Structure 1
Amino acid sequence: MQQDGLILELQNGNQKAFERIYELYSESVFGIIYSIVNDQKIAEEILQDVFMKIWENASSYNSSKGRFFTWILNIARNASIDQLRSKGHKNRQKNLKAENFVDILESSSNFSSKTDAIGIQKYIDILKPVCKKLIDLLFFKGYTQKETAEELKMPLGTVKTRNRACINQLRGILVEK
């Protein structure tokens, strides 16, 4: 079955289509979620939530607004960031033992493994260092634009402008390929 037909079947409530979509996308979606939350158990829980949202909100997907995989990744990214910002997650982070911080510091600085999880590392490598940093903070670490401005010690307006320019540059690279 073609992807468009599969999506249409999903939107019509076909459970087999949903199962097929899970088979096709769950591994990639898990990689994105894990790269954001850095916890296997939490990533597995979020993955299940993401696919429940896909099932429940399939009718809201509109192919004229973007690719299906992008729609799924946005759901996964938002769910992961929501988890990071939740009180429960923040309380768990406060209770971590000292040895856990080594892993957190090493994994949070490993931007290339995160971009590799979705197969865009080779395209990100082409970008300027400031674009790499902006994309890492805004899209992979879940920073707000204000938090990114504070982290990079630059005005909020500059972050917004550079972010737009970097995304446009990345989009141009991807379109060429």
Structure 2
Amino acid sequence: MQQDGLILELQNGNQRAFERIYELYSESVYGIIYSIVNEKDVAEEILQDVFLKIWNNASSYNSEKGRFFTWILNIARNASIDQLRSKSHRNSKKNLAADNFVDILESKSNFIGTADAIGIQKYIKVLKPVCKKLIDLLFFKGFTQKETAEELEIPLGTVKTRNRACINQLRELLAD
């Protein structure tokens, strides 16, 4: 079944279409979620929530506004960021052992693995290092522009300008 037909079937409430979409996308979506939350159990729980949202909100997908996979990734990214910003998540992190901080620091530099999880590593490789870092912080790690400016120790306006330029460069690469 073609992707458009599969999406239409999903929007019509076809459970088999939903199962097929889960088979096609769950691994990539899990990779994105895990790269943001860095916890297997939490990532699995968010993955289930994401696919529940996909099932319940399938009718809101509009192909004229973007690709289906992008729509799914936005749901996953938003759910992951919501989890990180939740009070329960922050409270669970208050008493971390020192060993956990090593993992957190190491995972902050795991951008290439994250990019590969959604199949855009070949495009990311040709971006300037500053673009790689900005995209990683803003889109994969869920930083705000202000948080990114603080992390990179550059002015907020510079983050906004560079982000716009980097996204335009990535769009050009993807259009080719």
3-state DSSP class of the match of 1:94?
Answer: coil
Distance in 2 of aligned mates of 1:100 and 1:162? 32
Instruction: Letter of the 1:19 partner, please give it.
Output: E
- Alpha-carbon RMSD: 1.0
- Deviation track 1:79-132 (CA, whole Å, cap 9, x = no partner) reads 001111111111111121111111121112221111111121221111111111
CA drift at 1:63: 0.2
CA drift at 1:54: 0.3
Distance in 2 of aligned mates of 1:79 and 1:94? 21
Distance in 2 of aligned mates of 1:40 and 1:22? 18
1:95 aligned to 2:95? yes
3-state DSSP class of the match of 1:13?
Answer: coil
CA drift at 1:8: 0.5
Partner residue in 2 for 1:123: 123
- Where does structure 1 lack aligned partners over 5 or more consecutive residues? none
Task: Among all aligned residue pairs of Structure 1 and Structure 2, give the percentage whose two residues are the same amino acid.
Answer: 84
Instruction: Letter of the 2:161 partner, please give it.
Output: T
CA drift at 1:51: 0.3
5 Å-filtered alignment, 1:1-177, equals 1-176=1-176
Distance in 1 of aligned mates of 2:53 and 2:80? 13
CA drift at 1:154: 2.0
3-state DSSP class of the match of 1:143?
Answer: coil
3-state DSSP class of the match of 1:154?
Answer: coil
- Where does structure 2 lack aligned partners over 5 or more consecutive residues? none
